[in-house]
Amino acid sequence: MRLPILFLLAALLVGCGPTDAPRIPDYRTLGELRVATRQDAIAFRYDEDGSSGFEHDLLLALGEHLQVPVSFIVYPDVTQMLRAVIDGEAHLAAAGLARNDLLPLRWSSPLREVDYVLVGRADRGTVRTEADLNGRMVSVRRGSLPADRLERLRKRLPGLSLHRPAAEGDQALLEQAAAGKLDLVATDRLHYAIAKRVFPELTVVWELPIKSQIAWALPLEPADPLAQEVATFLDHMRASGQLASIADRYFGHVRRLSTADIVRFLSLARERLPRYRAHFQEAQTRTGIDWRLLAALAYQESQWDPLATSRTGVRGMMMLTTETADRLGVRDRLDPRDSILGGARYLEMLRDQLQEDIAEPDRTWMAIAAYNLGMGHLRGARAIARTMQRDHTSWWGLKTVLPLLSRPEYAARLKAGAARGGEAVIMTENIRNYYDILTRIEPPYLPPLQPRGLKLSRNG
């Protein structure tokens, strides 16, 4: 009789027993917090600027709380990560782990809720009933929660095949499904949303009846000093809004674009963007702002149309007003190079006007909102946020306030009058998405003489 996958995993981790190797000292004695992790598009990843991710940033904040540095040890799969905690090789494990109380581990309070889906190409046929899965192959990451449910499902559907790769992550599996190399992939809805921004041909074909919580795994030791510190830390992060702010940094914007929006953006990225790539890269050389961010801003403004004109008189690729163009020395707003260089200088100027207490990537998102609203309205929104006891130094806090600027009771507090702050939020969130997509499909530009570091960390 075949045991469910999670029972097998539990048996493997429990049955092997701890190794004879000495356990590492606690974080205070060792002088560092040692974390077992794995590469994951949401939780922990390496990119062109180093390591980042939702749980990566949260763990760095935990290290500050504990007053010790954090050392990340990357394992190829979940089983080895959890084994490292049980064997005393790591203080905790963290990387998109669904809580599993069958394992001999202590679990933190939840970081986020997750639900699971089956994803495939839209042209591969629909799944209306469970029986439609007969004859299909589902790829599911080994050790994941859906693997257990699908194993049970296969008992009722003998025609269902399972493919369980050990080391490949959700995004790699979804990319293969988009290319037609895999039939269906079991993943969580957030991983699907991230992949769909680059592969719009993907769609949810079946809702798996699974919900879970992502948490950190700690040793099952009654006297572990770390467990209470983690509980205190996470309670504070929730109460202060910092947990929500970090979550928003990585995935608060990913579901905003429709499939039609994504298809059009990818199409124009192939057709139009190559004509202007050199201008955006020149603008990066002059300002230090990632050329892909400037291209994302230009797409939102004009869809890369150098002759674009609005009813309010703003014109060109970067949709500059006459006053702004004159101030920046832009001779011809309809010349794509002049417009791109001018728009980049304007964004740089707005960013530099923000107070020093605003860190990246929030600084860049606020500057982009000011590109739409004007710096006066942005400062007014920050002042209102302070009176409402919301975080005026984070984009997460400010984007809940900006839509209020159109209401008379709030507009009366602004020297510049009412503003369409909700439109500025939508524009900024769209640009965040376009920028994320461009970083997936376009390489970074490294000019021979970069005047200073890039303005936006890829942590955003």
Strand locations in 317-373 (E) = none
The least confident of 40-49, 109-118, 309-318, 448-457 is 448-457
pLDDT at 419: 83
- Find the mean pLDDT for residues 327-337: 95
How is the chain split into domains, by residue range? Answer: 5-111+215-251, 115-210, 259-441
Instruction: Indicate if the pLDDT at residue 9 is higher than 60.
Output: no
Bridge partner list, 211? 115
Specify the higher pLDDT residue, 126 or 428: 428
Active-site residue, selected from the candidate residues 301, 323, 360, 423: 301
pLDDT at 457: 46
- Find the mean pLDDT for residues 51-55: 95
Q: What are phi and psi of 459, to 5 degrees?
A: -60, -20
Q: Residue 105 is inside which H or E element, if any?
A: strand 105-107
**244 by DSSP, 3-state: which?**
helix
Bridge partner list, 105? 219
pLDDT at 194: 96
Instruction: Indicate if the pLDDT at residue 49 is higher than 70.
Output: yes
* Matching CATH number, 5-111+215-251, of 3.40.50.620, 3.90.1170.10, 3.40.190.10, 3.40.1190.10: 3.40.190.10
Domains 115-210 and 259-441 belong to one CATH topology: no
pLDDT at 311: 85
pLDDT at 165: 85
**27 by DSSP, 3-state: which?**
helix
- Find the mean pLDDT for residues 21-49: 90
What's the pLDDT tens digit per position in 360-414?
999 999 999 999 999 999 999 999 999 998 999 999 999 999 999 988 888 788 7
Residue 429 appears among annotated catalytic residues? no
Query: What are the DSSP calls for 201-222, one per residue?
Result: TEEEEEEEEEEEEE--EEE--T
- The fold for domain 115-210 equals D-Maltodextrin-Binding Protein; domain 2 (3.40.190)
Interatomic CA distance for residues 329 and 342, integer angstroms: 8
Q: Which two tokens stand for residue 85?
A: 């905690």
Instruction: Indicate if the pLDDT at residue 44 is higher than 70.
Output: yes
pLDDT at 459: 43
Strands 33-37 and 92-93: parallel
pLDDT at 21: 58
CATH number of 259-441: 1.10.530.10
Instruction: Indicate if the pLDDT at residue 10 is higher than 60.
Output: no
Phi-psi region of 14 (alpha: psi -120 to 50; beta: other; left: phi over 0): alpha
Q: Which residues contact 324 (CB under 8 A, 6 or more apart)?
A: 330, 342, 346
- Find the mean pLDDT for residues 224-251: 94
Q: Which residues contact 83 (CB under 8 A, 6 or more apart)?
A: 13, 16
Number of H helices, E strands in the chain: 19, 12
Q: What is the pTM of this model?
A: 0.88
